[in-house]
Structure formats: C-alpha cells, structure tokens
Structure 1
Amino acid sequence: TKTNELARKLDPTRPTGGVRYSKKSELLEDVYTYNDFSHIGDNPGIEAKKKITSKMGSPYMVTEYNGHMFPTKSFDDESHRLSHALRHTSVLNDLYRHDDVLGGFGWCMFDYNTHKDFGSGDRICYHGVLDAFRNPKLAATAYSSQQEEKPVLEISSSMDVGEYAGSIRGEIYAFTNGDEVRLYKNDSLIKSFTREDNNLYPHLPMGPIVIDDFLGDLLDAETQFSVGQRKTLKKTLLVIAKFGPNNLPLKGLLLGAKLMGLYRMTVEEIGEYYTRYIGNWGQEATTYGFEALKAGKVIKRIEKKTMKAVDLEINVDRTILREGDTYDVATLRIKALSDSGNLLSYLMEPIELEVEGPIEIIGPSILTLRGGMTGTYIRSTGREGKGKLRLIMSGRKTWEVDFDVQIPKPNLEEVGGSH
C-alpha cells in the first residue's frame, strides 16, 4: 500500500501495476496484473479475465506468459522451434480476442544467464524469442510480422525431409506481414495461400499462413488419370504428408481404400507417387521458392534448397567508436547462412577472432555457433585510429570488419579556463 502511494505521489500520471501468480488476490494497484502460464500448446492462449479476478471493473493485463512452460533453444529441432512460435502466436491471438484484456508481456524477449535451479544444466534460461545475443528464433517472427514497415517472411521449415521423424514434414507455416504466399517447386508455381484458406488465428492482425499443399495441379499436368482419380490421389498424398503412412486418420484410410478398390492402385504405386511428389527422394535436388505478396506485389522471396557453401552474416550496430568519459562498444550479431541465404541451424563450428589496431574483444577469442548464430562485443582502448576484426572459420574463409576509433579533442578553453 505504501509503495503504491509513493509511486502515485512521484508520478500521478501513470497507473500502477504489480506481478502476481495467484488468482482472485487483492488489488492494491490501479491495474490487475497476472502471470498467465496456462497455455500448453493445445488449449486457449490465456484464461478468461473472470477466472482470474473478481475485480471485473478494474483494468486487467497479462504480465507474463509462455517462458518456462516451453524452453526453446535456437538449436532445437524444427518441430520444437515451430511449437514454440505457435504457442506465442496462440497467446497473441487470445490477447487480441478478449476486449477486457489490455494486453500482455511475453516471458521473455531473450535468453539469459540464471541460477543453478533453472536452465538446462548450463545455467542459461532458454525462455526468449531471441537468444542471449539478440539473434531471433522463429518465435520472434510471430511479433515482427505484426508490423508493416519492414517486409517479413519466415518459413517454419528448411524443407529437408530428413529433419522430421519418418520424413513427415506435416504442415508448414509462413510467418509474414504479407497477405498472400506463393509456393514454387523448381520454378513451377504450385499454389497460392492466404490466411482465409485456413485461418487458425482469426483475431491476430497477421497470423501465420498455413502451407499444406505441395502438389497443386502437378498431377493434372503429369498423369493420364481421370479427374476423379487425380483428386482422390492428391487428397491421399496430402493426408499422408501431414500424418505419415502409419498414422493415418479414418479419412486417409478411406481415401486409400478408394484408390485401391475403385482405381485398382496398389500400395506400392501410391508410395511411388508420394516419393516422387512429396518426399522427392532419389531425384535431383529440389528448390522450393516462397513469395510473400502485399496488395498483389511481391515484398519478399525465400528459396529453400540444398546448401553448397557457408557464409557469415555479420550485423554490427556501429563501426565508428567514439571514446568519451569511458570506452565505446560495438555489438556484433553473427549468423551462418547457406549460399541461398538460409540460416544453418545445426552448424556448430567455432569461429576464431583476431583484432588489430586500437580495439579489443570483450569475451572469448573463440566463439561457437549455436543454432547457427552467436555474437561478440568490440571495445575501444583509449587510442585513436583504424581497427580491424577478423573472423576465421577453419577450412572455410576469413571475414573482416573495419572500425574507426575516434577520440574527441578537448576544448582548451574549458580545460584551462579563460584568461
């Protein structure tokens, strides 16, 4: 009570709020705030306000969600990273859905060092939508796709079937602020998808778009089957692509029975079509292209294809360091990318750092990529001049970043005074 009184006295323009984990507790602040960790992936994103507080006339805000309920590393498998992203998407959708909820803060923005009782044995909490160096995980695009200033398109899958149990990709999600996504296979347009096709998150302004058809009209162009057989075969292959051949729902079993009974296809023949059109096994490397469109215009394009070379994307927040009362620091965020620009999430190679000139590394001189990403910091040393940072991956290549360290000249009148 005294804390709230003091807060209101110091700043009467701002409402007060706290953090609580218990339902139906007393309200000392202006806003009833609650940590809602109820979402576990297959239930509503948040609980209804009336279940949390009896103060229905008071403003209500969710102050934490997700976090420890589903720790996710940037080097977890794709299915885990997708589930993480969809959990954040589900909560966001429900925050928009409930008019009596002011909004919410997710737990949390980035991974962080912690005590012995948390983390994965390494004292790191993997609760963030960014890693500790502020490199984004897939879940970060659930948030970045809600704005319209910068084009966003992120595909939840590398499209490598070997990443998945039984080589079953399941549904693919496109996180984008576009209103349409086109799928290409080896430069042939397969299909265009919109949110209205399968709107799982209707309250979210720009929810992810489901990509669930990898066939399009290919069977029409490449087979001599009747219209009915083509339609049945396509439906069957898409059900297998989603659930796998050994876990088919009743719909899939009935479709398969129709193919074998009415159209005299064997299990082996159905399997061959699946391998050819979905699995792509034994064929030339397949390139998948994804285009995000806004008002009919392409705003971003991504290609998914076999990696042939490794490159580093080095994002530096500043290359001019200006010393004042203390040293200046630059932050570097580093990603390992394929030659087509895709993150190499399982590249865990070391990167050796070397510096020359009036700069130093803050931290170790050898970094290890985690989830294909890492970071470091460069500081000035009190000397002026040109500096250079080299990033070396053994057996690959060397990357360089140039720095300019500037030290302002003192104002002699201020130093010596006027005479």
Structure 2
Amino acid sequence: SAEEAEIVVELRDGSDLKFQNRYSLKNGKAFAECLATDLRLWDISDPHLYDIKVALIKNREAIDEKAIRFGFRKAEFTKDGFFLNRQFLKLRGLNRHQSYPYVGYAMPKSAQIKDADILKYDLGVNIVRTSHYPVSRHFLDRCDEIGLLVFEEIPGWQHLGEDQFRANVLNDVRSMIERDRHHPSIILWGVRINESDDCESLYKATNALAKSLDDTRPTGGVRCIKNSQFLEDVYTYNDFTHAGGKMVLEKPRRVKKNVPYLVTEHNGHMFPTKRFDDEPHRVEQALRHYRVMEAAAKDPSISGTIGWCMNDYNTHNEFGSGDKICYHGVLDMFRLFKPAGHVYSSQGDGKPVLEVLTSLNSGEYPGSLLKEAVIATNCDLVKVYKDGRFIGDHRPDPKSVLSHPLLIITDFIGNLLEEEEKMSHRDAEFVKRLLRKIKNEDVFPLNLKVGMLYIMRKYHYALQAATGLYFKYTKSGNEWRFVGYKDGQPVKTVIKGKQTDSAYQIFADAEILRVGATFDTTRIVVRKVDQNQNLLDYAFEGAMVQTAGGIGLIGPNLVSLVGGELAFWVKTNQKGPIGTIKVTVGNQELTKQVKIEVE
C-alpha cells in the first residue's frame, strides 16, 4: 500500500552528494524540502548544473525513479533592462524554427544539439526564441549545458479560434511548463499566441495558469500591436520599423509606457535575402541587423532584441518566395552563413572573428564603384594592405555602444600619396577627397578644381600625370590582405584577390555517429574556394551524392552548389559500422567516411 512506501531524494553536484533524505508517503503524496549550501549559480558563462533524483521505494526496493538536471539562477526583466543573477545583461538573439530540409522537424538529438551550438558558439548570441512552439527536449538540454538563454512559447501564429481552440491553448501552456520548467536556460514563458489580437479572457487565463505552475519565471506575450492590453510581465513586441532608412527601432515609450520591454522579432520579411543574391543585397541585410543591435544597445530600457531569424525555412505560398521558402534567416536552411550571420558572430568574445563582407571586386557595385568595405570582427586592430603596400590601421570606434562595432573602410589609399608621391599630409588628404569625389560624383565644386590646379603646379604634374593619379590609386587592386590582432598578436588573416585557382572541399559536422533511441545524423558541407580559401559566391556546379555502408542520404542525390556551397544530411541505417559519402562535383570525387557506434 502507499502507506508502506517512501521516497528518497538525492541532490548531486556531479559525483558529490549535496543532500539526501527519505520521506514517507501519506495518501500517495509526500512533501520534500531540500536544504543545500554553497551552491553555484547557473550563468551564461558558467552554466553549472545539478542533478536531482527522486526514487519510489517499497519493501526496500526502488520501483520507480525520476531524475532531472537543473540549475539555480535569478532572471529579472525590469523597466531598466534584463538582469541575470542581478547583473545587467543586454539580450542579443535570434528566433529559431526547428525546421530542416526534406524532413521538417523530424531530426534526432545530435541535430538539435548542433543547432544550439551554432547559436552559442558560431553566431555568438545569448538568447534564442523557440518560435512559435515548444521545441525538442534535446535542444533545451543543450541550452542548459552551454549557457544559452531561452524564451519558450506555446504553438500558434495570429489565429484565435473559439471555445475548443482556447481550451487547447490552455492545455498547451500546461504541457509546456510542466515538461520544461526544470530548465534554467528558460527565462520567459510565452503565453500568448504569436501576433494574435488582444483576448482578455483567454490571456488572463493563460497567465494565471502559468503562474500557478511556475511562479519563478515571468511571462510574455508576443504581439505586433502598439499599446496592446498588457497582462503579462514583459511587453514582448515584434518591431519591423527598420526598412533601410533612419528609423531603426520604435521608442519603447511609444509602444507601451513604463513596462519591461523586449523586441522579439526584427528584420526578417522586411528584407528577404538569399545566399545567391548580389553582394550589395547580402551586405545590406547584414547592415540592417547591425543597425538594430546598435539602436538597442543605446537604449537601456530595451532588454534586448531577438532577430528574425536563425535560418531560412519552408513555408506556405502566401509567405515565402516562389519556391515556398522564407529567406529570412541569417543562415540558409542548411545552416550555411550569409553575411548577416557574421555580424552576430563578431559580437562574441570567443574565437577570433575577421570576416570581410565585401569582395572588393568592382564589378559587384553600381557603376563599378567600390565606396566602402565592411568588416565584421571582434579584433582590437585590423591592418590593411593593398598589393603588399600598407594602407592603414583600423580600430573599433571607442565611442560605439557595441563592444565590437563594424569596421567601415572608405579610405583605400592610406599614406601612399605621402610615401610614393611625396605629398604633405594635408595635400594628400585633399587629393584623396578629390579622388573620392571623382569616383562617386559627376559634378565638382569650383574649390576642388582650383585645389587640383594648385596640386599640379606644386608637384609639377602634367595633365596626363595628374589624371594618372586617379587610375593608380583608385583601382581595386590585385590583392588585399587584412590582418586581425588581439592583445597585440595577429590572430587571423584574410586575403582577397583576383581568382587564380580553385578547389573543392568536404567537411562533416561529426565523424562519429551514435545510434541510441533513434537513428543519428550529421551534416556534410561541400565548398568551392579560391586560392585564398574564400568562398566562390557564384559557383553553382551540379553534384551527385552517393552513400554506402552504414549511412543513407536525406534528400535528393542530385544537388548543386548554391553561392559556392552545398550541404545535406546523412543518417545511420544499421547496415554497417562505417559509412561512406562520395560527392562528384566538377571533375572531382570528394570522399568522407564516418564511423557508427551503437549505444
């Protein structure tokens, strides 16, 4: 009988037993209170986790048990921003659709873990929104392990139905919170259907239910409505203000006064971008995401911004492009980077990032005029060389509100006029300004014309020699070298130049696949690069994929490079301990092997 049973509660920090006690059951229930000291807080930089196990004991034998991992931390949204463990933290993140090509959401544990790792380590964000539904427990477990904050919300988009629909919404709130409330990574429950109209009776009920199930976390309700009825703890708002102009984000007080405030979507459908769009389009997407980050950083009342979105995804024909794909991601649907992805990466302080988003090929730009080079980097200093000649040092703007602002280079001449033409610094700066005017404009003010005559007389230039300055110093150059430094040491070099050679490369995310409760999978990436390891953006060769042994292919076997890259997933098939992938592209065969282990 229940009276003869008891429960045993254990709290462990790794192998260290922090607490253990036994509790008798009364009427099938027991109340257990744990007292533990010297606890480490869970944080994004130190995501410390504990294990708790509850065992049901009868006749000295465990007949059932439940174990979970969890952490201790305090998350607060205030009118002055977000605080984790009482420390101010500006949230910078992306929305994620748990969607993959050809299989939808049906991907196993390793793929879910990889997405979390991409967000944390490759994109450098500190929060992800599960848009718009609860996600795989494997993804949430990984967020706990690596210190990636989560805003999780109930399923739905815009539509509100009648009584049965609303009963389902309440069931969704209950299911989400009861399943996931032990995850320290989750800092906010979304208890309103994304972008739905106000519905006082329903959303009072969802908030009350959420608080009854978990009174330790705030609630949010994502809307795109100003001055919406506010029933939650955080006003979570999709802000699509930025359309390329000066307006970037709404002022929070104009949306809802005096409330904790979080931007939960921006950009996205306002500027769909394909990896095979022209360079100015791809770079503009990156700049738009950057402008939003910068605007949010300037306003402490904005807790943060969560961009739309991590990756492209399949959709219906009323919202996607003609191929029913939403090209809203900073990655494509195969998790391959667009320039906007590098803007996020550069905001992190982990591995060195030095991405020159501009190809420096003059034919990419209207009028063949290269006006600026855009660099996403977390380096302290970038040295620039053109055809082996030093052009200049470029450092982050010390006045920037961001730790790692973009470097925008407009001076492609540097000190060359002083060194090679023996001009004074003042005269060299005037000539550079003049050359930029000639390059970018058709009409020149009289003072510039007079100034050039002065330069010709002072330095004894004939007309032909003076004209030659333009061609000598404004041509795109055969080779550009960018060297990034951290703490005085070179950490990364990027070389851009005229293509003289190319090569195909093949990579696997994992070379050991482990079959457990389900099949396992890994992504294979094929790239075409030039002699300097730069991706060849306009390579679109067809390729044939073949698999053998213990793996099979997900998707078609006839594919093509898109913007210089292609990717696909393979999965285990229980037909052997070794799997082989062969990709035939151009006149080459690329081979990769993976090992399969059974757990």
Interval of TM-score (by shorter of Structure 1 and Structure 2): 0.7 to 0.9
Work out whether residues 513 and 521 of structure 2, in 8 Å CA contact, stay in contact via their aligned partners in 1.
yes
Could you say if the C-alpha distance between residues 159 and 206 of structure 1 is closer, same or farther in structure 2, counting changes exceeding 3 Å?
same
SS of the residue 1:104 aligns to: strand
Paired amino acid for 2:344 = Y
* TM-superposed deviation, 1:215: 1.0
* TM-superposed deviation, 1:229: 4.5
Structure 2 match to 1:162: 363
Indicate the percent of aligned positions where both proteins have the same amino acid. 37
Work out whether residues 524 and 567 of structure 2, in 8 Å CA contact, stay in contact via their aligned partners in 1.
yes
- After TM superposition, the structure 1 = structure 2 runs for residues 230-379 of structure 1, keeping only pairs within 5 Å, are 230-241=428-439, 244-246=440-442, 254-260=447-453, 263=456, 270-280=466-476, 286-379=478-571
CA distance in 1, matches of 2:486, 2:312: 33
CA distance in 1, matches of 2:499, 2:463: 33
CA distance in 2, matches of 1:314, 1:249: 52
Structure 2 match to 1:36: 239
Work out whether residues 506 and 524 of structure 2, in 8 Å CA contact, stay in contact via their aligned partners in 1.
yes
Work out whether residues 507 and 592 of structure 2, in 8 Å CA contact, stay in contact via their aligned partners in 1.
no
Structure 2 match to 1:115: 316
Paired amino acid for 2:564 = G
CA distance in 1, matches of 2:449, 2:542: 49
> What is the CA deviation profile of residues 104-135 of structure 1, one whole-angstrom value per residue up to 9, with x for unaligned ones?
11011111111111222111111110111111
Paired amino acid for 1:101 = I
Q: Which has the larger radius of gyration?
A: 2
Are 1:49 and 2:252 counterparts? yes
Work out whether residues 129 and 140 of structure 1, in 8 Å CA contact, stay in contact via their aligned partners in 2.
yes
**Equivalent of residue 106 in structure 1, options 307, 317, 333:** 307
CA distance in 2, matches of 1:196, 1:102: 23
Work out whether residues 296 and 305 of structure 2, in 8 Å CA contact, stay in contact via their aligned partners in 1.
yes
TM-score (norm 2): 0.62
> What is the CA deviation profile of residues 60-96 of structure 1, one whole-angstrom value per residue up to 9, with x for unaligned ones?
1111101111111111111111111111111001111
SS of the residue 1:196 aligns to: coil
Could you say if the C-alpha distance between residues 295 and 239 of structure 1 is closer, same or farther in structure 2, counting changes exceeding 3 Å?
farther
> What is the CA deviation profile of residues 128-180 of structure 1, one whole-angstrom value per residue up to 9, with x for unaligned ones?
10111111111111111111110000112111111112111111111100121
- After TM superposition, the structure 1 = structure 2 runs for residues 118-197 of structure 1, keeping only pairs within 5 Å, are 118-196=319-397
Work out whether residues 34 and 61 of structure 1, in 8 Å CA contact, stay in contact via their aligned partners in 2.
yes
* TM-superposed deviation, 1:349: 1.1
Could you say if the C-alpha distance between residues 367 and 52 of structure 1 is closer, same or farther in structure 2, counting changes exceeding 3 Å?
same
Structure 2 match to 1:412: none
CA distance in 1, matches of 2:342, 2:444: 32
> What is the CA deviation profile of residues 297-316 of structure 1, one whole-angstrom value per residue up to 9, with x for unaligned ones?
21211000122232234332
Structure 2 match to 1:414: none
CA distance in 1, matches of 2:549, 2:206: 51
SS of the residue 2:222 aligns to: coil
Paired amino acid for 1:23 = K
Could you say if the C-alpha distance between residues 39 and 227 of structure 1 is closer, same or farther in structure 2, counting changes exceeding 3 Å?
closer
CA distance in 2, matches of 1:393, 1:74: 20
TM-score (norm 1): 0.88
SS of the residue 1:399 aligns to: strand
Paired amino acid for 1:404 = K
Could you say if the C-alpha distance between residues 19 and 218 of structure 1 is closer, same or farther in structure 2, counting changes exceeding 3 Å?
same
Could you say if the C-alpha distance between residues 348 and 226 of structure 1 is closer, same or farther in structure 2, counting changes exceeding 3 Å?
same
Could you say if the C-alpha distance between residues 162 and 237 of structure 1 is closer, same or farther in structure 2, counting changes exceeding 3 Å?
same
**Equivalent of residue 11 in structure 1, options 197, 205, 214:** 214
SS of the residue 1:288 aligns to: strand
CA distance in 2, matches of 1:18, 1:401: 46
**Equivalent of residue 387 in structure 1, options 579, 584, 594:** 579
Which shifted more, 347-356 or 222-231? 222-231
Could you say if the C-alpha distance between residues 327 and 170 of structure 1 is closer, same or farther in structure 2, counting changes exceeding 3 Å?
same
Taking only aligned residues, the RMSD between alpha carbons, in angstroms, comes to 2.1
* TM-superposed deviation, 1:256: 4.0
Paired amino acid for 1:236 = L
Could you say if the C-alpha distance between residues 126 and 249 of structure 1 is closer, same or farther in structure 2, counting changes exceeding 3 Å?
farther
**Equivalent of residue 400 in structure 1, options 591, 596, 599:** 591
* TM-superposed deviation, 1:262: 6.0
SS of the residue 1:237 aligns to: helix
CA distance in 1, matches of 2:463, 2:233: 65
Structure 2 match to 1:209: 407
Could you say if the C-alpha distance between residues 187 and 262 of structure 1 is closer, same or farther in structure 2, counting changes exceeding 3 Å?
closer
Work out whether residues 550 and 572 of structure 2, in 8 Å CA contact, stay in contact via their aligned partners in 1.
yes
Work out whether residues 151 and 177 of structure 1, in 8 Å CA contact, stay in contact via their aligned partners in 2.
yes
* TM-superposed deviation, 1:398: 1.9
Work out whether residues 456 and 466 of structure 2, in 8 Å CA contact, stay in contact via their aligned partners in 1.
no
| Unpaired stretches in structure 1, ≥5 consecutive residues | 409-419
CA distance in 1, matches of 2:312, 2:231: 31
Paired amino acid for 2:291 = S
> What is the CA deviation profile of residues 308-338 of structure 1, one whole-angstrom value per residue up to 9, with x for unaligned ones?
2322343322122222333211112333221
CA distance in 2, matches of 1:309, 1:124: 33
Identify the structure with the greater strand proportion.
2
Work out whether residues 74 and 370 of structure 1, in 8 Å CA contact, stay in contact via their aligned partners in 2.
yes
| Unpaired stretches in structure 2, ≥5 consecutive residues | 1-203
Could you say if the C-alpha distance between residues 269 and 67 of structure 1 is closer, same or farther in structure 2, counting changes exceeding 3 Å?
farther
* TM-superposed deviation, 1:268: 6.1
CA distance in 2, matches of 1:235, 1:297: 33
Could you say if the C-alpha distance between residues 271 and 116 of structure 1 is closer, same or farther in structure 2, counting changes exceeding 3 Å?
farther
